[in-house]
Amino acid sequence: MKDIYILGIESSCDETSFSIVKNGTCEISTVISTQIDIHKKYGGVVPEIASRAHIKNITFVLEECLEKAGLKIEDIDAIAVTYGPGLIGSLLVGVECAKTLAFLYKKPLIPVHHISGHIYANNLVKRLEFPLIALVISGGHTELIYMEKDYSFKKLGGTLDDAVGECYDKVAKVLGIEYPGGPVIDKLASEGKVTYNLPIPLNDNTYNFSFSGLKSAVINLVHNENMRGNKINKEDLCATFQDVVIKSLTKKTMHALEEYKVKNLILAGGVAANLGIRKKFQELCQENDINYIFPSIKYATDNAAMIASSGYYAYLEGRRADLTLNAISSTELK
């Protein structure tokens, strides 16, 4: 069979990224230009600044990606782009770029859902095996997805309020940690002990999650301790917070694996870079004889390699968009 080269484009939040992936699993070149340093001083992503930065960067990132691969756009079989969900202005930059390239070079245009990209980041580690359960944990999402085969997504549950990454970032803020706080909390947690008392949110038998109450509990705890003049032990508070997050995520995920009789688990999304979360799942999967994959740290957070990988399977499915493709800020995975 002829090799298929997909050019992936990702610009849904604060990373401008291009990647070329061969046959869905073989990464040829990826370039990620992150805007973290620009947004840091505001304590989070500022949408208008993000879209402007994408416009400034996009052609340079594309050129660098092609140069690294030693390929020209003529050599590419199809162009896959994140059309949603995400920040509308940011998404539009990637979508317009993809449409322009597809039109100019007469290439098929493949619309890719951002969450499917996070799931297929694992396909670059090891070819996905089905059926599987995907736990998608990122700055914008917390979802449990059942997949019977490629490009078949059944949502079992999700967060009723904040996403887990959002909760990490907000807890970080109240502890005076710079955006994005997830990686720093992860590190502090590994140096602390579980000494504080925080509630496990939505500790029931559904597949839904809730993180806004946990966030408020941490904020209240910090304020109360400050009012009493007590010093917060950041390491211990992070360890306690992360322990509660892990308990919530593992309980629901292990329950889903059992109920659906699934032997494959993948973690996906930026929070899948969390070492504490990865390690706990590793232990549980070993105990329960579950095959477990998590993305490499580089491809846990937003990148275009995951979009190109997902785009390959969408391409095989015959999914195509025409030049009326529009960016959508909020859209279900299907």
The amino acid occupying position 18 is F
Q: Binding ligand KG4 by CB under 6 A: which of 10, 27, 143, 186?
A: 186
Site residues for ligand KG4, window 257-316 (CB under 6 A)? 269-271, 273-274, 301-302
Shortest Å, Cβ 165 to Zn ion: 9
Is there binding between residue 10 and ligand KG4 (CB under 6 A)? no
Is there binding between residue 90 and Zn ion (CB under 5 A)? no
**Closest to 311 in 3D by CA, of 14, 31, 17, 20:** 20
DSSP 246-298: HHHHHHHHHHHHHHTT--EEEEESGGGG-HHHHHHHHHHHHHTT-EEE---HH
Strand 132-137 versus strand 142-147 pairing type: antiparallel
Tokens 């040829």 correspond to 28
Phi/psi of residue 81, nearest 5 degrees: -135, 145
Q: Binding Zn ion by CB under 5 A: which of 302, 305, 311, 313?
A: 302
The one segment of 41-49, 132-140, 228-236, 324-332 that binds ligand KG4 by CB under 6 A: 132-140
Count other Cβ atoms within 10 Å, centred on residue 7.
32
Shortest Å, Cβ 77 to ligand KG4: 26
Are 164 and 201 in contact, with CB atoms under 8 Å apart?
no
Helix extents (H) in the chain = 36-40, 47-69, 88-105, 114-120, 164-174, 182-191, 212-227, 234-259, 275-287, 297-300, 305-316
Q: Binding Zn ion by CB under 5 A: which of 138, 159, 248, 274?
A: 138
Mapping DSSP to helix (H, G, I), strand (E, B) and coil, where does residue 130 land? Answer: coil
128 contacts which partner out of Zn ion, ligand KG4, none, CB within 5 to 8 A by kind? none
Number of shown-chain residues binding ligand KG4 (CB under 6 A) = 19
84 contacts which partner out of Zn ion, ligand KG4, none, CB within 5 to 8 A by kind? none
Q: Binding ligand KG4 by CB under 6 A: which of 94, 140, 192, 311?
A: 140
Q: Binding ligand KG4 by CB under 6 A: which of 24, 94, 108, 180?
A: 180
Is there binding between residue 33 and ligand KG4 (CB under 6 A)? no
The one segment of 64-72, 95-103, 162-170, 282-290 that binds ligand KG4 by CB under 6 A: 162-170
Q: In whole angstroms, what is the distance from residue 268 CA to residue 299 CA?
A: 9
295 contacts which partner out of Zn ion, ligand KG4, none, CB within 5 to 8 A by kind? none
Measured from the CB atom, the residue of 138 and 264 that comes closer to ligand KG4 is 138
Q: In whole angstroms, what is the distance from residue 109 CA to residue 78 CA?
A: 6
Residues found near ligand KG4 in the complex (CB under 6 A): 13, 138-140, 165, 168-169, 180-183, 186, 269-271, 273-274, 301-302
